[in-house]
Structure 1
Amino acid sequence: MIDMALHQHEVEEAVAFLRERIPEPPEVLIQLGTGLGELVGAMQETCTLAYEKIPHFPRSTVTSHAGNLVVGKLAGKRTAILQGRFHCYEGYSAREVAFPIRVLSLLGASAAIITNASGGLNPTFRPGTLMVFDDHISLLGDNPLRGPNVEGWGPRFPDLSTAYDPAFRKLAQRISKRLGLNEVVSGTYVCVPGPSLETPAETRFLRMIGADAVGMSSVPEILVALHAGMRVLGISVVANVNDPDHFQPIRIDEIIKAARKAGPRLQQLVINLLAELIP
């Protein structure tokens, strides 16, 4: 049985710790995934806290994730950036993975932009494609909302009929066109446990069930953000695309390299989104 009283106490301790140290409560949170940690360079008036300094925050064990909470101004919005994330394949539960999102929601963030790097399943995609989530499929086998519900945090059974805010998605597409950003598409993301990468047969299966891109993160954080009543936008950098009939080895270092190459386009999109966003 999940000790919800202990979890609630740990969340409240982290909230109190951050409230004393950040200048203003954030309006927006942004979670940066594999190879996408450079957005913090565009922020102003920043306060940086390493995850290990924040009570009860998990520790990132993935080398491409810096492991910092950076709070400041970005495009005029009070923004909290999670520079790196946690994954269930590191040994964490979905509840632990989403811990920072719960904390930031209680600090006041009302909108969330969740980014990651993924593998393309849609054969029309190319490496570097930016996919705006229009839906997701979770094959993770765990849910951060499992166990006793804290009514003050959100409803017992959150509705996911429009998990990804339609106005948020339309704004992302409109800005992409205005900026001339090529290869920005919409699609369905599927989350798998990892850390093993997909076999050709698994790739065929994931295509068959309607997924356009696959990754090992983001859904726990998204579910907690939705539970907390936040508007959510998901964006995935498609780092590679594999044809299950002509399968090629998938190498993590190549995925990181491709995600970093697409980083400036994602940064441009996010900054312009924030400039026009009404949280």
Structure 2
Amino acid sequence: MERQTIDAAVAQIRRRSAFRPEIALVLGSGLGPLADQVEGEAIPFADIPNFPVSTAPGHEGRLILGRLFGRDCAVMQGRVHLYEGYTPQEVVFPVRVMQALGAETLVLTNAAGGMNPEYRVGDLVVIEDHLSLPVAAGLDPLRGPNDPELGPRFVSMNHAYDPGLVALAERLGGLKRGVYAHVAGPSFEPPALIRMLRAGGCDLVGMSTVPEVIAARHLGMRVLAISAVTNIAVDRVDDPHVTSEAEVWETARAIRPRFLALMEALIPALPRANR
């Protein structure tokens, strides 16, 4: 059944554009303006059969097929999250569609809270591993019947984030490396949870990305993920700071020039697909 829903989405997209991307790019909270650099066809999520529609603020909900910094890309201007009420399988459906369109490399971006004391608001961090509380609790996008045409029943998460791509982003952007903690949201994390996640070796915390990584690895895609640190996570109940959506958007706007410069260097440098 999933194969049929993917095929239906691809067929509708093909009616609008015959473009075949080699890179899939997901733009997270506040990072969507990069899509303005794409030269190509923009398709609202709502126009694609079975495609989940973004309801989160700052997620435009468009799939753009075209050239970005000299490479053939499928760009999601916004994404969907578990906290919007979608199932894990619905959250990762766009990744499956972009792979079916031809993409072999997936680049994910997000806004995240910084837990590592060395991080500062405005830092860009390349993810090298993750810890997901929703997945550990059973919300794995691969749960249920497996279609062997899409990927294997059991998928290793060792090197889920391609080491070569991690090193490339680190070198080109001077980025820090970090471990990303995935929570369901939408409530921001209480101090006790931040302390637990930090004790578990996590540097960042956010509400996205990991389900998409799992689906991409199931499909055999190479994965790179980059977090923008938009706030410092509060780890004490006596801390007077109250995390807010407004500060996330403010920082995301401020970080855009650096993020754009990183993508302008990174996208052309990504390895070419074997076609």
2:202 counterpart SS class: coil
The answer for the alignment partner of 2:242 in structure 1 is: 249
The residue identity in structure 2 corresponding to 1:217 is S
Which of 151, 155, 165 is the aligned partner of 1:168?
A: 165
Which of 195, 209, 231 is the aligned partner of 1:204?
A: 195
Which of 210, 213, 238 is the aligned partner of 2:229?
A: 238
Moved over 2 A (4+): none
1:153 counterpart SS class: coil
The answer for the alignment partner of 1:259 in structure 2 is: 252
The alignment status of 1:18 with 2:13, answered yes or no, reads yes
User: 1:40: how far off?
Assistant: 1.4
The residue identity in structure 1 corresponding to 2:151 is G
Which of 9, 23, 27 is the aligned partner of 2:4?
A: 9
The answer for the alignment partner of 1:190 in structure 2 is: 181
User: 1:242: how far off?
Assistant: 3.0
Listed one character per residue, the Cα deviations across residues 51-98 of structure 1 (whole Å, up to 9, x for unaligned) are 101111111111211010011001211001100010101100111001
Separation in structure 2 between the aligned mates of residue 216 and residue 264 of structure 1, nearest angstrom? 23
The residue identity in structure 2 corresponding to 1:87 is H
The answer for the alignment partner of 2:123 in structure 1 is: 129
Report the more deviating stretch, 266-275 or 237-246: 237-246
The answer for the alignment partner of 2:210 in structure 1 is: 219
Work out whether residues 121 and 207 of structure 1, in 8 Å CA contact, stay in contact via their aligned partners in 2. Answer: yes
The answer for the alignment partner of 1:180 in structure 2 is: none
Separation in structure 2 between the aligned mates of residue 268 and residue 79 of structure 1, nearest angstrom? 17
Separation in structure 1 between the aligned mates of residue 5 and residue 187 of structure 2, nearest angstrom? 31
2:107 counterpart SS class: strand
Work out whether residues 123 and 243 of structure 1, in 8 Å CA contact, stay in contact via their aligned partners in 2. Answer: no
Identity between Structure 1 and Structure 2 (%): 43
Report the more deviating stretch, 236-245 or 50-59: 236-245
Q: Gaps spanning 5+ residues in structure 1: where?
A: 178-183
The answer for the alignment partner of 1:275 in structure 2 is: 268
The alignment status of 1:89 with 2:80, answered yes or no, reads no
Work out whether residues 116 and 198 of structure 2, in 8 Å CA contact, stay in contact via their aligned partners in 1. Answer: yes
The residue identity in structure 1 corresponding to 2:35 is V
The TM-score, its normalising length taken from structure 2, stands at 0.94
User: 1:243: how far off?
Assistant: 4.3
The answer for the alignment partner of 1:181 in structure 2 is: none
User: 1:20: how far off?
Assistant: 2.7
Listed one character per residue, the Cα deviations across residues 165-213 of structure 1 (whole Å, up to 9, x for unaligned) are 1111111111114xxxxxx210000100111111111111110111100
2:16 counterpart SS class: coil
User: 1:114: how far off?
Assistant: 0.3
Which of 52, 59, 62 is the aligned partner of 2:53?
A: 59
Which of 33, 36, 42 is the aligned partner of 2:31?
A: 36
Listed one character per residue, the Cα deviations across residues 219-268 of structure 1 (whole Å, up to 9, x for unaligned) are 11111111111110000001011341353200011111111211221121
The answer for the alignment partner of 2:143 in structure 1 is: 146
The residue identity in structure 2 corresponding to 1:130 is L
Over aligned residue pairs, what C-alpha RMSD do you find?
1.2
The residue identity in structure 2 corresponding to 1:163 is A
The residue identity in structure 1 corresponding to 2:205 is V
Separation in structure 1 between the aligned mates of residue 263 and residue 129 of structure 2, nearest angstrom? 19
